[in-house]
Structure 1
Amino acid sequence: MPSIPQPLDPDDDGGVAPAVAAALDDYQRGAAGPDRVLNALTGARLLVPVVALLTESEVGEHGLRQEKESEMALPKLVGKDGRQAVLAFTGTEALIRWRPDARPIQASTLQVCRAAVGEEAAAVVVDVAGPVTFVIEGDVLRALAAVESGTLEQLPGVTVARVEPVARRRWFRRRTN
């Protein structure tokens, strides 16, 4: 049974990171492209929703149906074409706008992308209920997931360069007469 991870930041107030808010606002106004939003999101905390799903109910002594067992689940968005997307939110306000009963789990954007690829989802939809919706999909989604998992070298067409410090060399000598 999966466990709920420890929070990234126990003092998180659920607000949107200022850099993310600015990038999304500029993106919505057409003043910035998706690359600016991705740069802001890459280092940001997102909130992944979990919701309770009724797995078993029973009829109580007064004839009313009541919950007997439930499980926490990660909801997915399913498009008209059948593709699935993992949902993530920049803050609690956007999460509540989508579904007030959902509970937030903190995760980095890279972790969310890795989870989406692991769930065979086609995309991550950020702030599905607004104020600005942003979608991470395709090669970008797979690349961000690979960064998180350390498997970037395995993506086709990707070359990873490592820069390592070298011993300092003198390129010239001083002449003494």
Structure 2
Amino acid sequence: MGGLEHRSLAEPAFPGDDGQVDPALVPVLGDPWATLAQLGGARVFVPIVAVLGERAADGGDKNADMAAVLMTGADGRRALLAFSSVARLETWNPQARPVPVYGQAAAQSALAEGASALVLDLGQAHWQVVETDDLGHLAAGDALVRTEAGTAWVRPAT
């Protein structure tokens, strides 16, 4: 083994994940408020696709990079795609590679890529857009709660 006997791979973030909808999202999909309240701590899948690059200098094959998928709306704003299950992602694009992340990490990635929204389950019956202040609060790890006056984002104590 050449000295590799003591090395180990890092533990996967979602061991035993079967690609189904995260149990926290199962009862709330279709209810925009409840979905948003659960999304930060739930596992979702961000699609990664191959993007053709430049042709090699010798005229050979083009290289390819892997990239998360951003959509651009008619108004020019961009959104990162995420899906609640592998099956829903594959319905959208069977060639996309599903990368499991927490909803909070997906929101952080959207903001890091200059997107102003996160679209959950595009093309499904209960797809949802998380944008503007909600996207920022989701990325920050804030909790969405109901109050007598309506809903509010609350920053957990540190």
**What TM-score comes out, normalization by structure 1 length?**
0.68
Displacement of 1:35 in angstroms is 2.2
Aligned to 2:5: none
Q: Give identity over the alignment, percent.
A: 37
**Secondary structure at the residue paired with 1:50?**
strand
Aligned to 2:51: 53
**Secondary structure at the residue paired with 2:75?**
coil
1:17 aligned partner, one-letter code = D
Cα distance in 1, alignment partners of residues 21 and 46 from structure 2 = 14
Task: Answer 1 or 2: which has greater helix percent.
Answer: 1
Aligned to 2:119: 125
Displacement of 1:24 in angstroms is 1.1
Task: Answer 1 or 2: which has greater strand percent.
Answer: 2
* Contact 2:82–2:121 (Cα < 8 Å) also in 1: yes
Superposition pairs for residues 17-166 of structure 1, below 5 Å? Answer: 17-25=22-30, 27=31, 34-57=32-55, 67-147=61-141, 162=157
2:15 is aligned, of 10, 13, 34, to 10
* Contact 1:87–1:126 (Cα < 8 Å) also in 2: yes
Unmatched 5+ residue regions in structure 2? Answer: 1-9, 143-152
1:120 aligned partner, one-letter code = G
1:12 aligned partner, one-letter code = D
| Two-structure CA RMSD over aligned residues (Å) | 2.6
**What TM-score comes out, normalization by structure 2 length?**
0.76
Displacement of 1:8 in angstroms is 1.6
**Secondary structure at the residue paired with 2:18?**
coil
Displacement of 1:54 in angstroms is 1.4
Cα deviation digits, residues 25-64 of structure 1 (max 9, x gap): 4x2xxxxxx2211122222101011101111347xxxxxx
Displacement of 1:134 in angstroms is 0.9
* Contact 2:40–2:141 (Cα < 8 Å) also in 1: no
Displacement of 1:160 in angstroms is 5.2
4+ long deviations beyond 6 Å: none
* Contact 1:114–1:145 (Cα < 8 Å) also in 2: yes
Name the CA shift for 1:127/1:161 in 2 (closer, same or farther; >3 Å): closer
Number of aligned residue pairs: give it: 137
Cα distance in 1, alignment partners of residues 13 and 156 from structure 2 = 29
Cα distance in 2, alignment partners of residues 6 and 76 from structure 1 = 29
Cα deviation digits, residues 76-102 of structure 1 (max 9, x gap): 111000100000000011100111100
